[in-house]
Structures are given as structure tokens and as C-alpha cells.
A and B are shown apart, each in its own frame.
Chain A
Amino acid sequence: MLIDWLAIAPEIALTVTALLVLLADLNLRGQAKQLVAGVAAVGTVVALVFTLILWGDERSTFGGTFVVNEYAVVFKVLFLGSLLAILGISWRFFAEGRYFQGEYYFLLLTSFIGMIIMPSARDLLLLFVALETVSIPAFIMAGMRKRSLYSSEAAMKFFLIGVLSVALMLFGMSIVYGFTGTTYLPDIAASIAALGTVDPLLAAAIMLVIVGFGFKISAVPFHFWAPDTYSGSPLPVAAMLAVASKAAGFAGLLAIAFIAFEPVAELWAPVLGVIAIVTMTLGNLVALQQRDLIRLLAYSSVAQAGYMLIPFGLARSGAAQVNDAAVQAVLFYLIAYAVMNIGAFGVAIAVHRRTGMRSISDYAGLASKSPLMAMAMTTFLLSLGGAPPTVGLWAKFAIVQAALTDVTGFAILLMVFLVINSVIAFFYYLKVVKTMWMDSAPEGLPALQPGFNLSLVVFVLLVGTVLLGVLPGLVSDATSLTGLAVG
């Protein structure tokens, strides 16, 4: 079997970088260990260049189980861009903390290798391996602060929930294999379509597989690990879990739902639609009562997962137009979400590093101390809420557009909940904004010193949030090209 090396070049570049980081960490001593962050960033840029070369190409290798098309390339650019941003915001955090820098960057890169495989995978086996490559390094990263009670608790909860969800998902996958005799996603779709009636056991198996990904994207009722894990783990790791790891879960769920289980969309679409409603409502209502900013961002990310699940509720088997619109809406929302949420975590890291504090009241008077950071945080929060002129507005608009492709009663119900929840969400986002701008700062609060890398990342993301808010076409031109169907 011939291997198409160019198709897997980004993955290879990232793997080589991860090994180089591990090797460099072994040989460097003391302050020099900080260099590994640079090595990781250079390797990521190389992988990004290889990915961009693949734009517009249609390639498949490993017997069709690994596919590179525009859809996969957009996802890979999203992941590698997030990786660069996370490297930027974690450099000072880990360099000053002096704990396990080399290991951190190695694990981070390994986790992202799994992520960039995910949108290309067209086989249950490859999806499973990619999911575990994302998760296992993340378990360790959550527990990176070995002496912290909170960090070890975060790792413990994340690990137990993670392995449980994978076990459930694998049980579902094994039953699906028993019914279809294959693990290749398009063949599964063909076999399920040929079965005609859906056996209850097969339906249960399909639900189990979807539940497995539900944990990864922290959808209600599988969300309870998220706030604890985000607030316990080091903040850059929380940013990575909230954005990249969730996007990887969505990549896997898209492939499973819209390729393998597309013929039985009538079965899972209502379930995912109801989960979307419950997820966004519960996430927003609980976020209202949070006093810790990281927990607020965690519940907000649960709610955002709910918004991103809406297009799944619109899916119908055989309606290629509706399904393509749904996939594109999810993809556009994920890109917008990555830009604004990594930015919000970046500001949170800057504040936390300086003051060691993270509760919302500690943000009082941030505007008078460091107006630029407060400005950036305000923009990111407004964007998460969906205010014009930010990218968050267009992200919600993309979902509405997907619903309008073919209006059904259920689609209208989903839209009603989307609007109600957007209003609720503004309440707690604006509460933080009000604290930053209107409350007076406590005495003796030092000015922030975010450092060059973090400032640069926050600035780029701020520009991105506003620029995409004015010109959403920059991204939506790319996402609207990308049907998942090509397999």
C-alpha cells in the first residue's frame, strides 16, 4: 500500500517537533529550558505551512481512512492557529512557574497531533486513536501542578470521566461493527441504509457513540467535569481544553454523525437538538451565579457547546443541502469561538499571573490600571455574547442561516431557545464588563505585566474578533466551500 506522504505531512511535522522538544528538554539546563517553547512554535509554523500547501487538494491515503480535503484543512488550520496562540499565552506562565516546561510542551504538541488527525479520520479505529491521543496527554496536563490539591483533583475527575466516556463509546462502536461488519465510516452508512429498519440495539449503540463524544464537548448532562477541571488545571491548559479539545470533539462528532450515521439522522437529530437546548440553558443559568471568572468561562463554554449542537438538531437524512449548511455553521462557529475564547483566557492569565487572583471581583478597576487589557477582555466577552460588530454575532447568524435552509417546527423551537439564551448570556458577560470599567480598583493593586508574547496573542485575537465581525467573509468564504461529504 502506497502512503501519500504529503497528505500526512502536517502530522509528521508536529510529531517530529514533539520529539525534538522532548530531546531538547533532556539536554538543556536551567534557564535554557525556555528555548523549547521556541522550538515548539517553529515546528507548529512548519506544520501550518504544510497544511496550507494542501488547501484545495483532495487526497486520501491508508485505504481511504485518512482524507484530506478543504473541510479537513480548515479544521487543521484552526487547530494549528489555536496551538500557536496557546503557546504564546503559556510561555511566561510556565517559564516563571518553573515546573515541567519541556514535558508541558511535549504533551501539548502530542495532544494537537491527535486533534489534527481527527477531521481527516474516516474510520472508527482512527477516530478512537485520535481521540485518545487528544485525551491522554490532556489528563496529564490537567495534573501538571503536582503539589496543588486542586490540580490533582482536576486531573482525577477529568481522567475518570474521560475513560468512562471512552469505554461507553467503544462498547457502542463494537455493536455498530457487529451490525455492519466494517469500521470504515462510508461503508457503515451504506450498511445501515441497507438494513432498512433500525434495530433497537443498533439505535442504543449509536447513542452510546454519540454520548462518548458528548463528554468531550461537555454537553449537558455530561458537563460536570468541565468547570472543576478548568479551574483546577493550569490556566493555559484550561484554555486548551475549552477550545481545542472541544473543537476536536466536534470534529469527531461531525464525522460520526454526518457520514457514518447520516442514514439514521431522524434518530439522533432530535436527541442532539434537545441536548443542545438543555446544554445552553443550563450552562447559561449556572454561569449567572459564578463568582470565579474561570468557572464562569467554563459554564459559558458549556453554553457555547449548546449553541454549536443546534445545527446537529437540524440534520435530516438524504437532505444534503440542509446537512452541508449545518456542518458549515458548526465549523464557522468553532473558528469564531476559538478566536474569542482563547483571547478571554489570555487576559485571565495576564491578570492571574500578576495578582494570583481569579474571582470576578478581582477584576474591579482593571480598566484604570491596564485599559488595553480591559478593552480586549470587553471585546472578547461581548463577542462571546454575540454583540455587533464582533465575530460572535456572525457565528450566531451562521446557525440561524443553517436553520433557515429548511424551516421546520423543531428548527423554530431551537432558534427561540438560541435567542432567549443569548439574552441571558449577556447578563453575566456584562457583569464582568461592569466590574472592570465601573468598580474602583482596590488599593495597591500592581499594574499588569503581561509580557510580549501574551500581549501579541491577545492583540492579534482582538484584531481578529473585530475584523471578522466587520468582514466575516474572510472565514465564511472558506467554510462555505467545505462540504464534509467528500470521503
Chain B
Amino acid sequence: MSLIGPLLLATFLFCVGVYGLIARRNAVLVLISVELMLVSVNINLVAFQNLLFPGAEAVHGQMFALFIIAVAAAEAGVGLAIIFNLFRNRATVNVDDVDLMRW
């Protein structure tokens, strides 16, 4: 299998994530965009592991991907709690409305 397919997919997902981060104003959607970026990293790691270094005795790439999945879950949990708390205080999850403090 060629490396080009998985890498294109990963790059596409990463770009969608970056776009969502810039264009979306809803905090939940911003969080989803970041998760998309993390998924693209996982695709990268697993593709490199299996297609570039198939014989290596240590499976660094796949271990890394597993850790990213676990940490991303923790991040999403904390992030949704923070967004939920913000919603209870301000009745909005729009990141543009969160502007009490300006320099």
C-alpha cells in the first residue's frame, strides 16, 4: 500500500481542523475541529509505523497514537466542562462573546 493515500487523508483532516478553528465561532465546534487535528496526527503515526517501519521491534507510532486517543478523551472531558460552565454563566458558547478582558 502506498503512503500517499493515508498522508493525503491526514493532511486533509488537519486542514479541515485548522479551517474550523479559524472559521467557527461556537466553542463546541472549535473543540471538534481540534479533535479532527488530533485524528489526523493518529492517522499519520499509524501510517508511518505500518508502511515505513514495518519491521521495527518497537511500535512507537502505534503506542503514540493510543496515548493521543486517551489524552484527547481527557481533554474533551475537561473542555466540555469548561464550555458548559461558561454557558451557565453567560448563556453563550460563542468565542467572540467571551471578551470581558481586553488589553
A residues sitting closer than 8 Å to B (CB atoms) are 124-125, 128-129, 132, 136, 139-140, 143, 146-150, 152-157, 159-160, 163-164, 166-168, 170-171, 173-175, 177-178, 181-183, 224, 227-228, 231-232, 286, 295
Contacts and interface: CB of A to CB of B under 8 A. Distances in A.
B67 A157 contact: no
B101 A170 contact: no
Contact of A177 (B37, B60, B85): B60
13 contacts: A128-B71, A149-B90, A155-B82, A159-B78, A160-B95, A170-B38, A171-B14, A171-B40, A177-B61, A177-B64, A181-B53, A224-B103, A228-B101
Contact of A167 (B27, B34, B45, B100): B34
B62 to A, nearest CB: 11
Nearest to A289: B103
Given A136-B78, A139-B78, A231-B101, A170 B60 contact: no
A129 B85 contact: no
A252 to B, nearest CB: 15
Contacts of A178: 44, 48, 52
A175 B103 CA distance: 36
B90 A125 contact: no
A150 B100 CA distance: 7
For the residues of B in contact with A, the DSSP-based class is helix
B67 to A, nearest CB: 6
B61 A153 contact: no
Given A150-B101, A160-B95, A163-B75, A174 B82 contact: no
Interface string B9-40: 00000100100010000010011001001101
Given A129-B67, A163-B79, A152 B90 contact: yes
Interface residues of B, number: 41
Contacts, number: 120
Contacts of A146: 85, 89
B86 A152 contact: yes
A65 to B, nearest CB: 10
Contacts of B56: 181
Contact of A159 (B82, B90, B100): B82
Contacts of A177: 44-45, 48, 60-61, 64
Given A167-B17, A171-B41, A174-B41, A182 B52 contact: no
Given A147-B89, A164-B34, A178-B44, A159 B71 contact: no
A167 B98 contact: no
A153 B79 contact: no
Contacts of B78: 136, 139-140, 159
B82 A152 contact: yes
A149 B52 contact: no
Interface of B: 14, 17, 21, 27, 30-31, 34, 37-38, 40-41, 44-45, 48, 52-53, 56, 58, 60-61, 63-64, 67-68, 71, 74-75, 78-79, 81-83, 85-86, 89-90, 95, 98, 100-101, 103
B41 to A, nearest CB: 4
Given A125-B60, A125-B67, A149-B90, A167 B41 contact: yes
For the residues of A in contact with B, the DSSP-based class is helix
Contacts of A228: 101, 103
Nearest to B63: A125
A160 B31 CA distance: 7
Given A156-B27, A168-B37, 4 more contacts: A125-B63, A139-B78, A178-B44, A224-B103
A295 B37 CA distance: 32
Contacts of A286: 103
B64 A125 contact: yes
A171 B37 contact: yes
A248 to B, nearest CB: 16
A168 B103 CA distance: 26
B52 to A, nearest CB: 6
B92 to A, nearest CB: 11
Contacts of A153: 86, 98, 100-101
Contacts of B82: 139-140, 143, 152, 155-156, 159
Contact of B60 (A159, A166, A182): A182
Contacts of A156: 27, 82-83, 86, 95, 98
B67 A163 contact: no
Listed from nearest, the 6 A-B pairs whose CB atoms lie closest are A174-B44, A167-B37, A178-B48, A170-B41, A228-B101, A152-B86
Given A125-B60, A164-B34, A174-B48, A149 B100 contact: yes
Contacts of B98: 153, 156-157
Contacts of B85: 143, 146, 152, 155
A132 B75 contact: yes
Given A160-B95, A163-B79, A295 B103 contact: yes
A143 B38 CA distance: 24
Contacts of A129: 67, 71
Given A152-B82, A178-B48, A124 B64 contact: yes
